[in-house]
A and B are shown apart, each in its own frame.
Chain A
Amino acid sequence: MGECLSLESYGYRGELVALLKKANVSVYDRIEVKTSDGFVFQGILMPKPELSAPYIIVLKLDNGYNIGVAIDSSTEIHLIEKGKLSQPTPPKASLKIREDLPIVSILGTGGTIASRVDYKTGAVYPAFTVEDLYSLVPELSEISRLRMELLFNIFSEDMTPAYWKVIAEKVAKHIEEGVDGVVIAHGTDTMGYTAAALSFALRNLPVPVVLVGAQRSSDRPSSDAALNLIGAVSVAAKAPFAEVVVVMHGETSDSFCLAHRGTKVRKCHTSRRDAFRSINAKPLAKIIGDTIKMLTNDYLPRDKKRELKVMSDFDEKVALVKTFPGMTPDLIDTLIDKGYHGIVIEGTGLGHAPRSILSSIKRAIDEGIAVVMTSQCIWGRINMNVYRRGVELLKMGVIPGEDMLPETALVKLMWVLAQTRDLKEVRRLMLTNIAGELNPRTIHSHYPPVEV
């Protein structure tokens, strides 16, 4: 940060920039503004938020409040004092970490799992160092010796299969270096997809790989980040399983976290802390503080001697298509014409699609495109033998996705198609349970009850 950036980079545009420049003013300078009605404001020029109206400059007053002041050509702007912005140096943690604690690597992919606020400027600084992380969440120092690496810094919605590959390979590198578990800090929007991708890419895991995020940003005192991070690091350090999991709040209270299997987890709420749910499956474990309580015996046990195999290629020519009343065949035809290799259909009910797209589905399969059926019901298993439409689709060669989440089916198809384009082999792999994505039994308690 240090040096002053241009006014434009702080959100100021057009004439405002000219007016501010004329007054020799840049962001974080202390200025006095006399508006045309004779009112005088004094404060520090602040960055301008994206949605602030044109011709408004933002001032921080001495009482800490920000206000917007309208500027026109008759406004007088005077520089009072040049400001300077220096990135705060985090307090040095004088912590002694026990040498016998497990080692956990935390890999950053974007967003901030821990951060501090500069109340002078309102800027939020993410924790980039282990020391800073310990100082913000001191409980971590009792659980493990941490290592940290920032892989990249992107919005979760901008995640791609190419990034999955980078993550998978970095995780493998850390595991090969002998860590006891890996935590991946990830934006929550596409965390479920990445969890599924890593579940397929990391074969024969010796230690747990944990994705973690926050539904409330870490700068606020009420953030869920700290509890989630404590849960995630605990799982990575000492869970008895060696699987890819998502660890997030288990309920709205700051009481416990749940570890969800990477292929069975879905973000089911836009904003709640407990947005992540295991679908058609039970969570693997409940984490209270740093104590792990297993909820199932069905898992791959931790074994540091097991040799990890990385299969991190994904075929990006795969689409996920949701059917809907009135759907026209051109959506499918376009994918065929654009040379797609696979299509996952999120059909209705037990796995159905409207008559209007049947011929296009048939055409796709005839042209060697793998078509997999899942259900937009989210919960439950598809069964294409019950109604005629299902039977018709099966006859065409549509692959039934069983109880797989549509998102997991998409990721799996990308992963399978990177290995083979042979439809017979694709079908065999799609119907083989590889990473817990297919569950032969659907049970009552998998579907959450409604409070009435």
Chain B
Amino acid sequence: MKLDYRALGLKVGLEMHQQLSTKHKLFCNCPLVLRQAAPQITFSRRLRPTPSELGEVDPAALFEFKRGRVYVYESYDDNVCLVEHDEEPPHEMNPEAIEIALEVALMLNARPIDEIHVMRKVVIDGSNTTGFQRTAIIALGGYVDDIEGRIPIQTICLEEDAARKIRESEKEVVYRLDRLGFPLIEIATAPVIYSPEQTERVAYKIGQILRLTGRVRRGLGTIRQDLNISIRGGAKIEIKGVQRLDLLAKIVKYEVMRQVNLLKIKDELISRGVKEDDIVSEFYDVSHIFRHTKSKVIRRALSKGGVVLALKLPKYAGLLGFEIQPSRRFGTELSDYARFWGGVGGIFHTDELPAYGISGEEVRKLKSELSCNESDCIVLVADKEERSRDALEAVIKRAIMALYGVPEETRGYNPDGTTHYSRPRPGAARMYPETDIRPIRITIEWIKEISEKLPEPLDVKLKKFVERYHLSKELAQQMIHSYRLDLFEKLVEKFSKVSPTIIAVTLEQTLKSLAREGIPIDNISDEHLEELFDLLNKGIIAKEAIPIILEHVANNPRKSIMNLMKELNLRALSINELEEMIDNLLKTNESLIKRLGERAWQPLMGMIMKQVRGRIDGRIVAETLKRKLSKLLKET
């Protein structure tokens, strides 16, 4: 599908959330540590939606509460305290986090506000034990420059990260509290980004500025992007929590595609003369048709005492099977609604039947029972009766929305860049002051102090990398744009005996080539890399060992490098040790040497390298072998 984004009136706003790397959390003294071990403490709570002055309650929140779902929290004593349990008032806002946020604000040319007032933003999905997220504006205004123009920044906020969702069931949602309270900086651009590529560029640029501080967390889940996307005639769609930068352009493109196609469906429905009143909320129990069905889903539902309910969507035939995003049809959108509001596994519709074990005979009976003609479509749900009803009610709601184009929604993304419905767009944020935290004055002196120690700009860094670190121009360029820029600088600073080029090559090239070989380099943490260069710095390993060690680290991330090294026998060799090994080699291969003379070097080199690979520079091995061999030949 060819899309002319300007002509379609695409508008994208970007909201970047980046975890900061501080000594402790935003409102307490807990360290920023995520845990995999089984929780030490488990407790459960309920959150009550409080009606506002207008009696409004967030519909999705109210729905959750009525479902009677309980929130279960998992916790630990060493990285979670009573603040995250909502059993102790928050402490003062972490000044280190404020300082980083101000630093970012200044780099983005924003205006820091004069006094921070922390707010409570009501969120009752359980991801915050309090029922609200603490958030505060740190700066307003600002901009980033893109090749297609200047993108204004609207707000820069500092807020607490939410708890991690571990699993959910019909009765409960389980969250782990370790992540709750991590400081997050939120940077929101104005909705003036006009193409998928520009979205990616702007996100990259802001990400680079964040990393330039050297005080943000890196790794999976430490940066999350929300997107607001709309086209002319479409609707504002919010896509939440995108963790991968390289997916942004695709997500924008697919969302535009989806909105364009939903508008086509709307036009088609209008031209077919469909009216809202045509869609009647009438559900037929058609369980009897499926008594002997081969469909496993239906059989399972019926055997558990469920029913098969059918709904007629008059004149919708063909539209449910219409693809609106790669391998997602309009029927998938209806299915998302059924899943969310009815808690069912999904729907069947006649645009895709017979299939999934449902026979042509069953479809024929179904159509005759609901007295359908060719232009109608039937939607089926098989589950407990109440859930099936809720699901079909939601399908009707969504089918009616199609008459009006694109409904406003919050959506989640799929690994392929398509998106799925996650909930209705919440109304205006419900915020009120956090009275447990005193306002924090940002003085001119404080700003001055921070602006004096801002990170050096990129061009200065580039020059430093070439002139002081002696990186090649090309490698320096690569490093400047690297995701691991801050780590590079830290490692260079810390390990003076390791050449910066080796560090840069490892971070930028070795890791990438390992990834190409399919090695899970996501398992390699900053701490691993630090340990690696520490051992290199101390001369315990040779630089030749780096790829092998990293490969093993990626496959055994829980082991320390020191241990892996011992297991693999990768301790660096001294020249003496090498010479001794070569002497032995020459002794045991006398006949070979006699036979081949100087030409014995090649097979001997192969033999010795098998023993010393990764433990010493190959050039030294070659030279030493050559020297010893010719000496031996001369002597004999």
List the interface of chain A (C-beta within 8 A of B): 37, 39, 41, 49, 51-53, 56, 58, 61, 63-70, 88, 91, 116-120, 122, 124, 135-136, 215-216, 219-223, 226-227, 251-255, 270-273
* B residues in contact with A255, CB < 8 Å: 44
Interface contact B433-A49, CB-CB below 8 Å: yes
Total interface residues on B, CB under 8 Å, equals 51
Contact with A along B115-140 (1 / 0, CB 8 A): 11101111010000111100111001
Interface contact B132-A220, CB-CB below 8 Å: yes
* A residues in contact with B54, CB < 8 Å: 88
Nearest A residue to B135 by beta-carbon distance?
Answer: A65
Q: Determine the distance from Cα of A433 to Cα of B119 in the docked complex, in whole angstroms.
A: 51
Q: Determine the distance from Cα of A120 to Cα of B54 in the docked complex, in whole angstroms.
A: 10
A223 interface neighbour in B48, B430, B431, Cβ under 8 Å: B48
Nearest A residue to B433 by beta-carbon distance?
Answer: A122
* A residues in contact with B120, CB < 8 Å: 220
* B residues in contact with A119, CB < 8 Å: 52-53, 122, 430-432
Interface contact B119-A56, CB-CB below 8 Å: no
Interface contact A221-B122, CB-CB below 8 Å: yes
B52 interface neighbour in A63, A67, A116, Cβ under 8 Å: A116
* B residues in contact with A120, CB < 8 Å: 53
Cross-chain pairs A/B with CB under 8 angstroms, 15 sampled? A37-B111, A41-B140, A51-B438, A51-B439, A91-B51, A117-B50, A120-B53, A122-B431, A221-B124, A221-B132, A222-B45, A222-B130, A254-B44, A271-B82, A271-B87
Interface contact A135-B51, CB-CB below 8 Å: yes
Q: Determine the distance from Cα of A254 to Cα of B129 in the docked complex, in whole angstroms.
A: 12
Nearest A residue to B55 by beta-carbon distance?
Answer: A91
A56 interface neighbour in B52, B55, B85, B114, Cβ under 8 Å: B114
* A residues in contact with B89, CB < 8 Å: 271
Nearest A residue to B435 by beta-carbon distance?
Answer: A49
Assess A252 versus B87: contact at CB under 8 Å? Given A67-B113, A70-B115, A119-B432: yes
List the interface of chain B (C-beta within 8 A of A): 43-55, 82, 85-89, 111, 113-117, 119-122, 124, 129-132, 135-137, 140-141, 155, 157, 428-433, 435, 438-439, 441
* A residues in contact with B45, CB < 8 Å: 222, 253-254
Q: Determine the distance from Cα of A88 to Cα of B53 in the docked complex, in whole angstroms.
A: 5
Interface contact B47-A221, CB-CB below 8 Å: yes
* A residues in contact with B113, CB < 8 Å: 67-69
Q: Determine the distance from Cα of A271 to Cα of B91 in the docked complex, in whole angstroms.
A: 13
Min C-beta distance of A49 to chain B, whole Å:
6
Q: Determine the distance from Cα of A273 to Cα of B119 in the docked complex, in whole angstroms.
A: 23
Interface contact B48-A118, CB-CB below 8 Å: no
Assess A68 versus B129: contact at CB under 8 Å? Given A52-B439, A116-B50, A253-B44: no
B115 interface neighbour in A41, A63, A67, A227, Cβ under 8 Å: A67
Interface contact A222-B47, CB-CB below 8 Å: yes
* A residues in contact with B441, CB < 8 Å: 53, 56, 68
Nearest B residue to A252 by beta-carbon distance?
Answer: B43
Interface contact A67-B51, CB-CB below 8 Å: no
Assess A49 versus B82: contact at CB under 8 Å? Given A66-B117, A220-B130: no
Nearest B residue to A273 by beta-carbon distance?
Answer: B87
* B residues in contact with A118, CB < 8 Å: 52-53, 432
Nearest B residue to A218 by beta-carbon distance?
Answer: B50
* A residues in contact with B51, CB < 8 Å: 91, 116, 135-136
* B residues in contact with A65, CB < 8 Å: 117, 119, 135-137, 155, 157, 431
Interface contact A64-B53, CB-CB below 8 Å: no
Interface contact B432-A68, CB-CB below 8 Å: no
Interface contact A221-B53, CB-CB below 8 Å: no
Q: Determine the distance from Cα of A362 to Cα of B361 in the docked complex, in whole angstroms.
A: 103
* A residues in contact with B140, CB < 8 Å: 39, 41, 67
* B residues in contact with A223, CB < 8 Å: 48
Q: Determine the distance from Cα of A330 to Cα of B120 in the docked complex, in whole angstroms.
A: 49
Q: Determine the distance from Cα of A342 to Cα of B414 in the docked complex, in whole angstroms.
A: 74
Interface contact A272-B137, CB-CB below 8 Å: no
Nearest B residue to A88 by beta-carbon distance?
Answer: B53
Nearest B residue to A67 by beta-carbon distance?
Answer: B113
Interface contact B429-A63, CB-CB below 8 Å: yes
Interface contact B44-A67, CB-CB below 8 Å: no
Q: Determine the distance from Cα of A364 to Cα of B112 in the docked complex, in whole angstroms.
A: 63
Min C-beta distance of B598 to chain A, whole Å:
73
Interface contact A67-B46, CB-CB below 8 Å: no
Q: Determine the distance from Cα of A63 to Cα of B115 in the docked complex, in whole angstroms.
A: 17
Nearest B residue to A269 by beta-carbon distance?
Answer: B87
Min C-beta distance of A395 to chain B, whole Å:
46
B439 interface neighbour in A68, A88, A116, A215, Cβ under 8 Å: A68
Q: Determine the distance from Cα of A136 to Cα of B57 in the docked complex, in whole angstroms.
A: 12
* A residues in contact with B55, CB < 8 Å: 91
Min C-beta distance of B58 to chain A, whole Å:
11
* B residues in contact with A122, CB < 8 Å: 431-433
Interface contact A64-B429, CB-CB below 8 Å: yes
**Given A64-B119, A64-B430, A220-B50, 12 new contacts (CB under 8 A):** A67-B113, A67-B114, A67-B137, A70-B115, A117-B53, A119-B432, A220-B131, A221-B131, A251-B43, A252-B43, A253-B44, A272-B88
Interface contact B117-A68, CB-CB below 8 Å: yes
Nearest A residue to B139 by beta-carbon distance?
Answer: A67
* B residues in contact with A116, CB < 8 Å: 50-53
